[in-house]
Amino acid sequence: MTVTGVVPILLVRDVSVSARWFEERLGFAVDFLYGEPAFYGSVSRDRVRMHLRFVHQPGFAEIAAREESLIAASFEVSDVRALFEEITGRGAEIAQPVVCQVWGGTDFYVRDPDGNVVSFVSYG
């Protein structure tokens, strides 16, 4: 038996709006939206996936607004600088520009419409 992956679940106020944001701003594909109106969905890019779940009030985003560098999900990428340029060109809100961290990663953060922070990181 082998664990083959993990799917973070982001809590959002509007699953359809959030899925469209991931598609337009971060280059993800919308895999599915479930319900009418959608209360659950999935977006993916390359070999990674994120699920989106409706909540009336995303509490994690409130905490993230008060806490510096509180991240809802982190994606490991092969070229963080190239992705940063792409995402910046797509108009995503950058919460932290590219930083070479003392722990060995190089990362940047984006903030979604609900205030959730997502990071992208490269190692090496």
pLDDT tens for each residue of 32-47: 999 999 999 999 999 9
Is the entire prediction scored with pTM above 0.85?
Answer: yes
Report domain extents, the chain: 9-123
* pLDDT at residue 58 in the model: 61
pLDDT tens for each residue of 74-113: 999 999 999 999 999 999 999 999 999 999 999 999 999 9
CATH value of 9-123 in 1.10.3720.10, 3.10.180.10, 3.40.1670.10, 3.40.1190.20: 3.10.180.10
DSSP string computed for the chain: --------EEEES-HHHHHHHHHHHH--EEEEEETTTT-EEEEEETTEEEEEEE-SS-HHHHHHHHSTT--SEEEE-S-HHHHHHHHHHTTPEEEEEEEE-TTSEEEEEEE-TTS-EEEEEEE-
**pLDDT-derived band at 59, boundaries 50, 70, 90:** low
